[in-house]
Amino acid sequence: MFKSCPICEKESNIRKVSKEEEILVRGEPIKTTVTSRKCSECGGEFLDTTGSNDPLKSAYRKYREVHDMLQPEHIKEIRKSIGLTQGELSNLLGWGKITLSRYENGSLQDKAHDLQLRRLKDPIFIVDLIRENPSALSKSRRNIIIRQLKSNIRTGWNVGYYIEEYLTSDEIDEKNGYVPFGIDKINNLILYFCMYGLWKTSINKYLFYTDFKYFKEYVNGITGSRYKRLPYGPVPENYEIILGRLVDEGMIQVEEICFASNTCGEKYTTVKTPDLTVFSETEYEVIEKVKNHFKDSTAKDISDFSHKEKGYQQTSPGQYISYNFAKDLRL
């Protein structure tokens, strides 16, 4: 506690004075309590910024409340729940080394950073960060974080398997088009294709032809998905999990439709507008080629078409179809 006045430098009776003031935070006036100290000797006042009395940090807290932003302790809780150090998370997010430390100690984060921090509650977002920034963590640390993510999962769909499947393997080869798996790309690709409704079997073929067509033209895939040879044609690995997550999060809706022949099918329709900025110009051009090629085709037409692909015919049932077969693609 203060014993001497920093103004007159005399020992005196220094009392606390509190009053409401407005502090401008990013151009917005925020009312907050400002605590100062008043010297009985000289009558001078000086700010008390010890402990929780810092008026700027108090104004920042109120600003965050008004704008529904994470408080410093919440940011720290999220980071610790993943098991990452400040440096590791900063590397994954591509931030400066001291940025995260400043946020956890009370500095006001910008809105874009706040949105990224909120997305850390989604294990699949963390998966994508690790895949896109392979040098951010050592292999041993990656494995530790994988186990931590899996232990935190309390959802109804099998995201734990999904995480293990895509993070424990370092292989980038002909089975995934020589690119790491990107959940944002496959999600938005599905949303785009389903804007006017699409059958599940057709979704799988649209994805297959998009990845393999792009590989044919540019020697790498788009989504990093691995495709298996199944009875109704090529399908992306874990497509049930991916579609299930989109439905659970309200991004697409699914309708079961039954026909006179006593057969039923699932039709998916987009609810959330796809973000096409995740695709490059050349990727979007190929996506459009695939969509336009099959726009008048039935699910059976597309399935029959895919069965004639050399990659499908020369791959054993249940096995991965090599992207090297893209050179023979019929599209």
In angstroms, the CA 115 to CA 303 distance is 40
> Which secondary structure element, helix H or strand E, spans residue 209, and what is its range?
helix 200-218
Tokens of 106: 């009370």
If we measure between CA atoms, which residue out of 321, 87, 53, 46 comes closest to residue 208?
321
Q: What is the pLDDT of residue 61?
A: 93
Q: What is the pLDDT of residue 51?
A: 55
Q: What is the pLDDT of residue 165?
A: 55
Torsion angles phi and psi, residue 104, rounded to 5? -70, -20
10 Å CB burial of residue 138 (0-12, 13-18, 19+) is exposed
In angstroms, the CA 306 to CA 331 distance is 10
Torsion angles phi and psi, residue 274, rounded to 5? -65, 150
- Tens of pLDDT, residue by residue, the chain (331 residues): 456 777 677 777 777 777 888 899 999 999 888 877 778 778 777 766 665 667 888 899 999 999 999 999 999 999 998 889 999 999 999 998 899 999 999 999 999 999 999 999 888 788 778 877 878 888 778 878 877 776 665 544 455 555 555 554 556 789 999 988 888 899 999 999 999 999 998 999 999 999 999 999 998 999 999 999 999 899 998 888 888 888 988 999 998 887 666 677 789 999 999 999 999 999 999 999 999 999 999 989 999 999 999 999 999 999 999 999 999 999 9
Q: What is the pLDDT of residue 163?
A: 59
pTM confidence score? 0.57
Radius of gyration of the chain (CA): 28
In angstroms, the CA 235 to CA 227 distance is 5
Q: What is the pLDDT of residue 161?
A: 52
b/e sequence 233-264, b meaning 16+ C-beta within 10 Å:
bbbbbbbebbbbbbbeeebbeeeeeeeeeeee
By the 8 A CB rule, do 21 and 55 touch?
A: yes
Question: Per-residue DSSP letters for 215-250?
Answer: HHHHSS-SS---EEEETTEEEETTHHHHHHHHHHTT
Give the β-pairing of 45-47 and 198-199: unpaired
